[in-house]
Chain A
Amino acid sequence: MFLTISTTGTPERPATDLGFLLHKHPDKAQAFSTSYGTAHVLYPEASVERCTAALLLEVDAVALVRRGKGKGRGGAPDAALAQYVNDRPYAASSLLAVALSAVFSSAMKGQCTARPELPEQPRPLRIEVPALPARGGADLVRALFEPLGWTVTVEAVPLDEQFPEWGDSRYVRLELEATRLTLAEALRHLYVLLPVLDDAKHYWVSSDEVDKLLRAGEGWLPDHPEQKLITSRYLSRRWSLTREAMERLELVRLAEADDTEVEEIDNAVDEETDTEEKPVPLAVQRRDAILAALHASGAGRVLDLGCGQGQLVQALLKDTRFTEIVGVDVSMRALTIASRRLKLDRMGERQASRVQLFQGSLAYTDNRLKGYDAAVLSEVIEHLDLPRLPALEYAVFGSARPRTVLVTTPNVEYNVRWETLPAGHSRHGDHRFEWTREEFRTWARTVAERHGYEVEFTPVGPDDPEVGPPTQMAAFTLTAPKEEKAA
């Protein structure tokens, strides 16, 4: 919520010209009200040699929350607890960028009616941001500012010096120095890059972001080496804004009841790695292997258990041999995304009659899942705690009992072949276990025997002679009419 802009000068080009450039008189403290609180501009120093302007945004935290009108009971908006205790009043966040553009709008545009020649002239500039939220850390800060001609000094801020084991916070103390930039350029850099570094999901409220980005980025953004990251981060905040509207707060509340970060619970949808635009080749191979196995089984009515965002359902829909496709997931968010991906609401009646999506859980038996030809559990079992795996086994093999069951899961032996994966790490934060080929086979054979299935194994992806394939698949086929439970 605070930053300073300083310049130095000479009697010919006095530092106090900064006042003209900013349209704010150095001897006065001025206040401007913005939608989040009051922005103050004042000058701690103002001499011919040195002049510093400070922008201080007094954030009204209560008003910030009030903006999110909700149906919450108890006289408060239906908001997450995190919105009541947050860093907005202290950190130089996107709110500060908004204030910057509001308070220094003509300076940003390079206008100065009193001294029209001034804005064109580069001057020595020094900008200090003592608490800058910087996702990506010091390296990213440098990568963003250095190409623009800044000399960057960046220092990590510790989370809490009493608990050194907690490490550094997401804030840095930033100092920028340049001699060949104009003030307008400097302001536009800050206007775009502060929110990009902040990258906060929940607090941005604004529209027509694309235009704003194009205007503020004019002259520097197109050639910036990190242009892609800047653009996507800047605009993705807008996307999360729309997402917030559709987001269900129920899970947020359950996380808070448990003093847990929402991300720890609401993580069924992996936004980073699993978008359809650039599918991981392995995911494609996995899907192809599943389709081939389904074709071999002759299945027409297929369950996709743990359908996630619906990629497999979409692939199955394209093949009319699959007459009925049911996608089941426990995550409502995943189902919402899957439904949007499939455009279920706009699908023709005939097509729509082939596909269904509903919430279900493999920790419970479910009569709706009975009587299908095949069930696919693609990268599902490893998301369950091991002690709860028997419940899934029973729900699928004992209760639903489709003729064919396909199960894929990572082969942990292959992890040494992933260059980017640190040793001993699993491939996904939510993987509760990853099995070797032997472990998977032992489990699959036990399940098959107990429930009257036969099982065969197929490698998916390059089958490394030493460590096997990245993904392993088991295809179960029903043999016995009924399991041993007959008493």
Chain B
Amino acid sequence: MTNETHTKARTLPVTDLSLVVLIGASGSGKSTFARKHFKATEVISSDFCRGLVADDENDQSASGDAFDVLHYIAGKRLAAGRRTVVDATNVQQESRRQLIELARKYDVLPIAIVLDVPEEVCAERNAARTDRADMPRRVIQRHIRELRRSLRHLEREGFRKVHVLRGVEEVESAEVGTEKRFNDLTHLTGPFDIIGDIHGCASELEALLGKLGYVDGTHPAGRTAVFVGDLVDRGPDSPGVLRRVMSMVGSGSALCVPGNHENKYGRYLKGRKVQHTHGLAETIEQMEGESEEFRQQVREFLDGLVSHYVLDGGKLVVCHAGLPEKYHGRTSGRVRSHALYGDTTGETDEFGLPVRYPWAEEYRGRAAVVYGHTPVPTATWLNNTICLDTGAVFGGKLTALRWPERELVDVPAEQVWYEPTRPLASEAPGGHEGRPLDLADVHGRRVVETRHAGRVSIREENAAAALEVMSRFAVDPRLLPYLPPTMAPTATSHIEARGGAADEHFLEHPAEAFAQYQEDGVARVVCEEKHMGSRAVALVCRDAGVARERFGVGGTSRSSAAESGGGPTGSLYTRTGRPFFDDAAVTEEILGRVRAAATEAGLWKELETDWLLLDAELLPWSLKASGLLRSQYAAVGAASKAAFPGALAALEGAAERGVEVRDLLARQRGRAADAEAFTDAYRRYCWTTEGLDGVRLAPFQILAVQGRSLAGLPHDEQLALIDRLVEHDGSGLLQTTRRLFVDTGDPESVRAGVDWWLEMTGRGGEGMVVKPVGAVVRGAQGRLVQPGIKCRGREYLRIIYGPEYTRPENLARLRGRFLNHKRSLAIREYALGLEALDRLAEGEPLWRVHEAVFGVLALESEPVDPRL
């Protein structure tokens, strides 16, 4: 308790994230005090809550409900990390107990500010208020009696700071000073070198510091070392490690959080009884050779350690044993013990060691959590967390993480200094065997933040459909880092279209696409031939080991598949994530051919990668769509072929008899011709394949390689890479994509583009896609422009719009189509696809990549005219 008796302007320290409980009788001036020193939104008063639930701020019968509301609001604020001030009398222990529990629940400091004002003053103030004028004097008397009785117990009740203001003058002159939490070092931006568990390995520490560029504990570039704790115990020279770390922390070139071993040794130094196990005996023995003065310094150093730090604007959290997001920057005994010991299930394993809860698997926070505590063979990221304890003392290595570079630096242990109780776990917690994908990552209504188009929302019913397809039909999400977006067609062709090239027979015409891009400020576009197969995404790794290392597939570390180097080397999937081939061997055969071409073309080296993600078209269409072809397209053809001869013969017979059926006959002949044209249209995209003979893969973009999204690589450069891939394919699988570059502002060039399309579609081609050469392009208002516009051939569109769509009356009706929703959908899906690639490139956790990929699939189920 702060018992200063002087009455001059006191400044009350109040932590920036805390639950401030005002305590005082009715009329003691709590609301005035709160108004003066805190933001209006920080203060919740019981009177206000009474008004909310009962329309009367003084209706004492509503107190129960009012406090429920108060606690609810306070809970929401504290959960969100906002300081909250409770303006109620709080003179009874029971009401304070509830608030202290609330503070503990949200791991914030409970702070009491007592307004101890004489009874007469309170009574006078209440009398002056019309709504309280008739408050009996005895109520105030009771309040003051209860307050006085409480004063001595406040700290014992759990308040971490207690400020008592006695008398009106002290209340009025007091100031509130906001204090930062000790763990809040968000203003420090490093760069940092975070160093894992050392355990007395002084020599390895010196080697690592040297490798990191430190000279006698200082980094010439001003970097800051951060120690994750467990400096002592087990190893050969805990005093040496302490000396180095303490001097670095003392000189400001390092930060240090305590480990459980420091905590225990600190308690030993304070004279507490602790078991000399887990290497503590070694530390005690080594420290006996040190001076009493040094031991005293160590004691003070350990005593002053803060259990975790939030650094670099909140992007980085460092602690010893890992910390779930809800504890970041919080202050409570629970947070401290969690930071030191981690979350345990309460059980012990067969080695008698506590079983740890796989918190990192569930971690979904945006801050990277860097920690130690759990020895692992290699440090690996999982859901934006990484454990740096690589068992130096057990003969492993001492590891550091450079931040923000995210580079790992390590030195090997000089020897096994201490035999581990149990073998090092073969994986980081929740590693390859863990399934870090949780339903909460994808289910229900969601908003996905994208860097290219802001927030993209996904509706519940669309997520539900995507969940079904993703769960039942898709390839393993680890091998599904991307789904292609839908694409909008050109604006509907009009007779008076710009450039005058379009005419009335077309629903889609390239002149519209060129004009639209010109309007968007895109000067140069590439027209790429559309292949009319099935969209295919291929993830091609150099070998199964790469797939295992980069994408975490290939079974568990124990499985025979992994040991024998088996397992998939990638994936080949459709636009909804389904595998193209039921037989994994066929997929592998195709991946093998692409891999060979990439090797021949030297792409691995040139792109500095050991995997490629390709966007492609797989041909023929009939390979995958054969079910649909038979049930729908060929069926229409068969029915028409069977029906028309009889119908035409009947009409001709009637006409011969002089019955007036001329118009009807002409119309039916036209329809018969249209139906035949329809059959011809789909037939062009069907051919018979035998095994992989006749199967073609036409790649048109390399979407991503290790550490990089290539979605922004200009299409001319993309196609140059693709051409080399195709050239070096000796298997006949890969097919080139023909293209033509067009300047949208040059009528000559535009005409050439139109002619090219007319020529191609005239021979039955599906059409083309027009793309800005610059790939990811923004328009005048900074919005993404369409990444591509499809322009489908007149005959091809029969498959989509029906055999008779070219009849003038039908075309006229179809011209009424609207593209806005399709365009918006295309942009949203594109942004999600780019987001998935960026997240993949930046090594973000699987759930983050999957979230965006899942979003694309969900949006695909939005209602939009399916013919667009």
A interface residues with partner B (beta carbon < 8 Å): 1-2, 4, 27-29, 40, 42-46, 52, 54, 56, 58, 61-62, 70-76, 78-82, 84-87, 89-92, 128, 130-131, 133, 157-160, 162-163, 165-166, 169-171, 173, 248-251, 253-254, 256-261, 264-265, 268, 330-332, 359-368, 383-385, 387-388, 390-391, 394-395, 398-399, 481-482, 484-487
B863 touches A75 (CB 8 A): no
Output the least CB separation between B472 and chain A (Å).
Answer: 6
Complex-state Cα separation, A163 to B634, whole angstroms: 10
With contact pairs A73-B822, A481-B345 given, residues A81 and B461 touching in the complex (Cβ less than 8 Å):
no
B632 touches A85 (CB 8 A): yes
With contact pairs A265-B473, A361-B439 given, residues A91 and B802 touching in the complex (Cβ less than 8 Å):
no
Q: Would you mind naming 17 contact pairs between A and B with Cβ atoms under 8 Å apart?
A: A42-B650, A42-B661, A56-B651, A84-B866, A85-B801, A90-B644, A160-B638, A166-B629, A253-B866, A261-B631, A265-B469, A364-B441, A365-B439, A384-B472, A391-B435, A485-B433, A487-B429
Complex-state Cα separation, A165 to B622, whole angstroms: 12
A76 touches B817 (CB 8 A): yes
Q: Does B98 sit within 8 A of A, measured CB to CB?
A: no
Beyond the given pairs A40-B661, A364-B435, 5 more chain A to chain B contacts, judged by CB atoms under 8 angstroms and listed by A's residue number, are A56-B647, A74-B817, A89-B671, A261-B627, A365-B361
Q: Which residue of B lies closest to A253 (CB)?
A: B861
B438 touches A52 (CB 8 A): no
Complex-state Cα separation, A212 to B634, whole angstroms: 33
With contact pairs A261-B628, A481-B347 given, residues A253 and B860 touching in the complex (Cβ less than 8 Å):
yes
A251 touches B356 (CB 8 A): no
Output the least CB separation between A427 and chain B (Å).
Answer: 17
Q: Does B821 sit within 8 A of A, measured CB to CB?
A: yes
Q: Which 3 A-B pairs have the closest CB atoms?
A: A44-B653, A74-B865, A250-B465
Contacts of B578 in A (CB 8 A): 258, 260
Complex-state Cα separation, A250 to B860, whole angstroms: 8
What total count of A-B pairs have CB within 8 Å?
Answer: 317
Report which of A170, A330, A482 forms a contact with B471, defined as CB distance below 8 A: A330
A359 touches B816 (CB 8 A): no
Report which of A4, A257, A367 forms a contact with B440, defined as CB distance below 8 A: A367
Q: Does B447 sit within 8 A of A, measured CB to CB?
A: no
B799 touches A85 (CB 8 A): yes
Q: For window 317-343 of chain B, which residues contact chain A by CB distance below 8 Å?
A: none
Complex-state Cα separation, A383 to B576, whole angstroms: 18
Complex-state Cα separation, A158 to B679, whole angstroms: 13
A75 touches B816 (CB 8 A): yes
Complex-state Cα separation, A109 to B754, whole angstroms: 61
Complex-state Cα separation, A44 to B659, whole angstroms: 9
B interface residues with partner A (beta carbon < 8 Å): 345, 347, 349, 353, 355-356, 358, 361, 374, 376, 425, 427-430, 433-435, 437-443, 461-462, 464-473, 475-477, 486, 534, 555-556, 568, 574-576, 578-579, 584, 621, 624-647, 649-654, 657-661, 664, 667-668, 671, 675, 679, 683, 686, 688, 799-804, 810, 813, 816-822, 857, 860-868
B469 touches A254 (CB 8 A): yes
Output the least CB separation between A36 and chain B (Å).
Answer: 15
Output the least CB separation between B114 and chain A (Å).
Answer: 42
B464 touches A332 (CB 8 A): yes
Q: Which residue of B lies closest to A27 (CB)?
A: B659
Output the least CB separation between B803 and chain A (Å).
Answer: 8
Contacts of B439 in A (CB 8 A): 360-361, 364-368
Contacts of A28 in B (CB 8 A): 659-660
B639 touches A169 (CB 8 A): yes
Q: Which residue of B lies closest to A43 (CB)?
A: B654
With contact pairs A62-B813, A130-B643, A159-B638 given, residues A84 and B427 touching in the complex (Cβ less than 8 Å):
no
With contact pairs A133-B639, A365-B439 given, residues A487 and B664 touching in the complex (Cβ less than 8 Å):
no
B638 touches A171 (CB 8 A): yes
B865 touches A330 (CB 8 A): no
Report which of B467, B639, B641 forms a contact with A359, defined as CB distance below 8 A: B467
Q: Which residue of A lies closest to B488 (CB)?
A: A74
Output the least CB separation between A388 and chain B (Å).
Answer: 6
Q: Which residue of A lies closest to B534 (CB)?
A: A259
Report which of A44, A86, A248 forms a contact with B657, defined as CB distance below 8 A: A44
A254 touches B634 (CB 8 A): no
B632 touches A86 (CB 8 A): yes
With contact pairs A54-B650, A84-B867, A361-B467 given, residues A254 and B860 touching in the complex (Cβ less than 8 Å):
yes
A394 touches B434 (CB 8 A): yes
A388 touches B476 (CB 8 A): yes
A73 touches B864 (CB 8 A): yes
A259 touches B628 (CB 8 A): yes
B646 touches A487 (CB 8 A): no
Contacts of B534 in A (CB 8 A): 258-259
Complex-state Cα separation, A79 to B863, whole angstroms: 9
Output the least CB separation between B827 and chain A (Å).
Answer: 14
B821 touches A258 (CB 8 A): no
With contact pairs A359-B464, A482-B355 given, residues A73 and B799 touching in the complex (Cβ less than 8 Å):
no
Complex-state Cα separation, A295 to B820, whole angstroms: 58
Complex-state Cα separation, A171 to B642, whole angstroms: 8
Output the least CB separation between B44 and chain A (Å).
Answer: 30
A361 touches B650 (CB 8 A): no
Q: Which residue of A lies closest to B809 (CB)?
A: A62
B659 touches A485 (CB 8 A): no
Complex-state Cα separation, A282 to B802, whole angstroms: 46
Complex-state Cα separation, A153 to B510, whole angstroms: 51
Contacts of A390 in B (CB 8 A): 433, 435, 555-556
Q: Which residue of B lies closest to A358 (CB)?
A: B443
Output the least CB separation between B670 and chain A (Å).
Answer: 11
B863 touches A78 (CB 8 A): yes
Complex-state Cα separation, A92 to B862, whole angstroms: 34
Report which of A4, A76, A158, A486 forms a contact with B356, defined as CB distance below 8 A: A486
With contact pairs A254-B857, A364-B439 given, residues A485 and B657 touching in the complex (Cβ less than 8 Å):
no
Output the least CB separation between A50 and chain B (Å).
Answer: 11
Q: Which of A80, A92, A250 has the most CB of B within 10 A?
A: A250
A46 touches B800 (CB 8 A): no
A166 touches B471 (CB 8 A): no
Complex-state Cα separation, A360 to B644, whole angstroms: 50
A71 touches B861 (CB 8 A): no
A487 touches B437 (CB 8 A): no
A58 touches B667 (CB 8 A): yes
Report which of B637, B640, B642, B657 forms a contact with A27, defined as CB distance below 8 A: B657
Report which of A46, A80, A365, A485 forms a contact with B437, defined as CB distance below 8 A: A365
Q: Which residue of A lies closest to B568 (CB)?
A: A387
B461 touches A248 (CB 8 A): yes
Report which of B633, B642, B645 forms a contact with A85, defined as CB distance below 8 A: B633
Complex-state Cα separation, A361 to B839, whole angstroms: 24
Complex-state Cα separation, A1 to B631, whole angstroms: 18
Output the least CB separation between A266 and chain B (Å).
Answer: 9
A44 touches B428 (CB 8 A): no
Output the least CB separation between B512 and chain A (Å).
Answer: 16
A248 touches B465 (CB 8 A): yes
Output the least CB separation between B270 and chain A (Å).
Answer: 31
Contacts of A74 in B (CB 8 A): 817-819, 821-822, 864-865, 867-868
A250 touches B822 (CB 8 A): no
Complex-state Cα separation, A482 to B636, whole angstroms: 59
Contacts of B657 in A (CB 8 A): 27, 43-46
Q: Which residue of B lies closest to A481 (CB)?
A: B347
Output the least CB separation between A332 and chain B (Å).
Answer: 5
With contact pairs A159-B630, A360-B439 given, residues A487 and B465 touching in the complex (Cβ less than 8 Å):
no
B639 touches A163 (CB 8 A): no
A487 touches B376 (CB 8 A): yes
With contact pairs A169-B634, A249-B863 given, residues A259 and B624 touching in the complex (Cβ less than 8 Å):
yes
B643 touches A91 (CB 8 A): yes
Contacts of B661 in A (CB 8 A): 29, 40, 42
Complex-state Cα separation, A399 to B641, whole angstroms: 58
With contact pairs A42-B654, A487-B374 given, residues A330 and B800 touching in the complex (Cβ less than 8 Å):
no
Output the least CB separation between A138 and chain B (Å).
Answer: 14
A84 touches B802 (CB 8 A): yes
Q: Which residue of A lies closest to B815 (CB)?
A: A75
Contacts of B646 in A (CB 8 A): 2, 4, 128, 130
